[in-house]
């Protein structure tokens, strides 16, 4: 199935950061990712036991129907594993009383004991499916609950003192009552601000300073975060849904600039929901619902990003040119076109 989205049905939507509206000065600003021209995205995913799906940026005018198949060269794709963080203390308190989201006691919410059980179960699933051997990079939102989830699911085994490599997480980080997690035999981890939750008002979505995080998560790379303090979160203005969606498109555009082919992204419910809600408008309603449904805590959905342009794709690594050694190999149908007089008459 192919899912197309464009804000203008008569024009293609290009993933060019300059074409995405920037929030007004009263709202947080992010550094723009490198500019990409004529770049499109497609997502194809078997999600758990669900049927596979495809999402593609394009013009609505070139839609064939709500059914069909698409074929793309493998080297023009990236596989992305999207994960919502496990249960945090804010999820529990907020479901009991929505006003609890305004409480400073939930500042930079950590995982609950139940959340850590969810992490352990997802980790088991990832290993059983062999994803831990395929993923080349883990990107995480720089909040406590997402980093705890990321290292718990995709990190190495228990950390042992004396090992030269720093741990991904030290023991009892964020009052987790968990042992240290090793950075050996696992992909690199990078913290990225663009995939944070809604910014503003809710203290649970305000991060600590990066200098506070570094001792807790020594092997996570925080170099892409420009400011030590959280200058994006404001106490009196909550980020609008459309601004979260625009930020999500910037994140996806930036993601394509990475060299890695298989990437895990650990982020938040609101960010995922508003980023993905732009897709599926040309599909069967059940498929649209599948794409836009809120993620459960610690849910994983795998998708494929497609480059439909000639920009930014790596050379093919599995293709083989053939004709080695060279020899005559003109196909019969081509030969008939080249010499129509030799064709068989009816």
Active site residues: 85, 197
> Which H or E element spans position 44?
strand 42-45
Residue 182: strand, helix, or coil? coil
DSSP character for 108?
A: T
CB 297 within 8 A of CB 87: yes
Q: What does the alpha-carbon distance between residue 66 and residue 34 come to, in Å, rounded to a whole number?
A: 33
DSSP character for 310?
A: S
Residue 304: strand, helix, or coil? strand
Sheet architecture: strand order including 220-221: 220-221, 189-191, 137-140, 262-267, 77-84, 300-306
CB 189 within 8 A of CB 150: yes
Question: What tokens does 314 get?
Answer: 């790596």
Angstrom distances, CA of residue 108 to CA of 54, 91, 282: 35, 12, 38
Alpha-helix residue ranges (DSSP H) falling in 84-138? 89-96, 113-128
- Smallest Cα–Cα separation from 52: which of 124, 106, 3, 105? 3
Residue 28: strand, helix, or coil? coil
In the block, tokens 């050694």 appear at 325
């Amino acid at each position: 199935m192919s899912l197309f989205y464009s804000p203008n049905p008569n024009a293609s939507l290009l993933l060019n950061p300059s074409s995405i509206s920037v929030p007004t000065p009263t709202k947080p600003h992010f550094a723009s990712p490198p500019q990409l021209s004529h770049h499109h995205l497609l997502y194809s995913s078997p999600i758990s036991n669900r049927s596979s799906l495809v999402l593609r940026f394009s013009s609505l005018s070139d839609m064939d129907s709500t059914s069909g198949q698409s074929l793309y060269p493998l080297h023009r794709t990236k596989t992305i594993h999207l994960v919502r963080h496990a249960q945090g203390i804010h999820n529990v308190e907020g479901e009991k009383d929505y006003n609890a989201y305004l409480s400073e006691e939930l500042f930079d919410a950590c995982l609950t004991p139940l959340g850590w059980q969810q992490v352990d179960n997802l980790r088991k699933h990832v290993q059983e499916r062999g994803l831990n051997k395929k993923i080349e990079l883990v990107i995480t939102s720089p909040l406590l609950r997402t980093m705890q989830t990321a290292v718990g699911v995709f990190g190495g085994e228990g950390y042992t003192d004396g090992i030269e490599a720093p741990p991904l997480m030290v023991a009892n980080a964020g009052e987790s009552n968990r042992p240290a997690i090793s950075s050996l035999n696992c992909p690199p981890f990078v913290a990225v601000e663009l995939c944070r939750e809604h910014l503003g008002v809710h203290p649970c979505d305000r991060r600590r300073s990066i200098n506070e995080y570094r001792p807790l998560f020594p092997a996570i790379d925080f170099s892409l975060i420009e400011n030590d303090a959280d200058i994006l979160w404001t106490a009196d203005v909550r980020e609008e849904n459309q601004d979260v969606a625009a930020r999500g498109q910037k994140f996806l555009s930036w993601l394509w600039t990475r060299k890695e082919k298989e990437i895990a992204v650990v982020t938040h419910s609101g960010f995922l929901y508003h980023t993905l809600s732009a897709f599926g408008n040309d599909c069967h309603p059940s498929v649209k619902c599948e794409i836009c449904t809120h993620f459960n805590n610690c849910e994983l959905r795998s998708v494929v990003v497609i480059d439909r342009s000639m920009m930014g794709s790596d050379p093919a690594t599995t293709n083989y040119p053939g004709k080695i050694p060279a020899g005559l190999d003109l196909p019969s149908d081509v030969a008939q076109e080249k010499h129509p007089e030799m064709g068989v008459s009816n």
